[in-house]
Each structure stands twice: as structure tokens, then as C-alpha cells.
């Protein structure tokens, strides 16, 4: 998910080059998609692939981790529009974004980096989660809280646990599920299955 946030401070008076930044981001993502982990990535390799000098990169990012965070964050699809009328429909919309991302090789690399290198690069993981993951969590938390307040969900629901059930099920399919494209109705099936256990008791 792309979150609007200044990448890093730039010297006053220096014109911003969108073309150069895009080339650098694309080069970083291409190298990651080709199998480079954070450790293997180098500013030299990124600069060479982007067709820019190393100084061009360092004007925009102070270090490699900052660049990787910004590159990975561009892969996160924006939050889908939520109608705010049905908790079920809004949860399906939020989960389906995760399903759609698995069809993109670059997006799959995001999860590999975040999950596989969290111990070695805790700051990178922390920054990525704050920038690209937490907005989704916040949106889902608000939807479920609205469901509790409006009577669509159980009044004693543990919202955080409910979020884990929904996101965890989709994550299992996207990371460890059967090979091939995920069913288009997967988000709907997960939400319906989980909601069956989160609904309030009949009066």
C-alpha cells in the first residue's frame, strides 16, 4: 500500500527528479524480485541498474534500509473504498487486496523480506509495518469496532483476535496455500466462515 510520506529531507533548492526516484525504486524492486535479500543488495548495484550515480541515491535516502522500506511500501495497494454499510462487505474488500497482491512477484517478495529478515533488520521491519501494514490494521479494526457497536458482531468480541483470524487465514493461503492462482471468492469465503463464529448470540 502506498502511504504518502516524505521519503527523506532534501536540500533546499534542489529540484526533485521523479524520473530518477522511480528508476531507483524500480531497480531496488527488480533486484529483490531476482532474489537479492537486504544483505546482498548494494547501493552500487542499485545505482548501476537504475542508470544513476550513487550520489543521486544518497541525496534521497541516507542508507540502504530507508530505500528498501520506501521501495517495498510502493507495492502495497491503496486501501479499497469502504462503503461503511456492511461489516461483511468491508472486511471482504480489505482481505481481497491481500489476495490480489499474491499474483504479483514483486509483492510476494515483500512478505519474504519482512518475514524472513525481521530478526536481522528489525528497524526495517518496524518501519515497513508502521508505514504499509498498520494503516490496513487500523481500517480493519475500525470496521470491526463498528460492527460491535452496530450489533453486527458479538458485543464481547475480542477485536484483535478477530482481526488475527481473518488476516491469518488469508496469509496462510497467500504464503503456504495450494500452488496456482487463489480463488476469486477466497476473501468472501474466509469472511463468511469467520463471521459465523463472531456473530452475536440469537436473542
Give every CB contact of residue 92 below 8 A, 6+ residues apart in sequence. Answer: 187, 188, 191
Is it the case that residue 8 has pLDDT exceeding 70?
no
Could you tell me what percent of the chain has a pLDDT over 70? 83
- Cβ atoms of 113 and 32 within 8 Å: the answer is yes
Per-chain mean pLDDT for the chain: 83
Is it the case that residue 151 has pLDDT exceeding 60?
yes
- Cβ atoms of 170 and 193 within 8 Å: the answer is no
H or E segment and range at residue 107: helix 105-116
Instruction: Report, as an integer, the average pLDDT of 65-80.
Output: 83
**How far, in Å, CA of 127 to CA of 38, rounded?**
14
Predicted local distance difference test score (pLDDT) of residue 192: 95
Q: What are phi and psi of 136, to 5 degrees?
A: -70, -40
- Cβ atoms of 54 and 73 within 8 Å: the answer is no
Instruction: Report, as an integer, the average pLDDT of 162-189.
Output: 87
Q: What is the pTM of this model?
A: 0.73
Taking alpha carbons only, the member of 17, 138, 134 closest to residue 73 is 134
Q: Which domains does the chain have, with CATH numbers?
A: 18-73 (1.10.10.60), 87-198 (1.10.357.10)
Predicted local distance difference test score (pLDDT) of residue 59: 92
Predicted local distance difference test score (pLDDT) of residue 11: 46
Is it the case that residue 2 has pLDDT exceeding 90?
no
For the segment 178-201, what is each residue's pLDDT rounded down to a tens digit? 767 788 999 999 999 999 988 787
Question: How would residue 173 be classed by pLDDT, with cut points 50, 70 and 90?
Answer: confident
Amino acid at each position: 500500500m502506498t502511504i504518502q510520506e516524505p521519503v527523506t529531507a532534501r536540500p533546499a533548492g534542489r529540484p526533485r527528479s521523479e524520473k530518477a526516484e522511480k528508476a531507483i525504486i524500480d531497480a531496488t524492486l527488480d533486484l529483490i524480485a531476482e532474489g537479492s535479500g537486504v544483505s546482498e543488495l548494494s547501493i552500487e548495484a542499485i545505482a548501476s541498474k537504475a542508470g544513476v550515480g550513487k550520489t543521486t541515491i544518497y541525496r534521497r535516502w541516507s542508507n540502504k534500509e530507508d530505500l528498501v522500506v520506501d521501495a517495498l511500501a510502493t507495492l502495497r495497494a491503496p486501501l479499497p473504498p469502504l462503503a461503511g454499510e456492511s461489516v461483511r462487505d468491508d472486511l471482504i474488500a480489505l482481505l481481497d487486496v491481500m489476495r490480489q497482491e499474491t499474483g504479483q512477484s514483486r509483492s510476494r517478495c515483500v512478505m519474504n523480506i519482512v518475514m524472513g529478515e525481521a530478526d536481522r533488520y528489525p528497524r526495517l521491519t518496524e518501519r515497513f509495518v508502521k508505514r504499509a501494514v498498520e494503516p490496513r490494521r487500523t481500517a480493519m479494526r475500525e470496521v470491526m469496532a463498528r460492527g460491535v457497536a452496530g450489533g453486527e458482531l458479538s458485543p464481547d468480541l475480542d477485536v484483535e483476535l478477530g482481526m488475527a483470524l481473518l488476516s491469518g487465514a488469508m496469509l496462510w493461503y497467500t504464503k503456504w496455500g495450494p500452488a496456482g492462482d487463489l480463488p476469486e471468492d477466497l476473501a468472501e469465503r474466509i469472511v463468511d466462515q469467520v463471521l459465523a463464529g463472531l456473530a452475536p448470540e440469537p436473542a
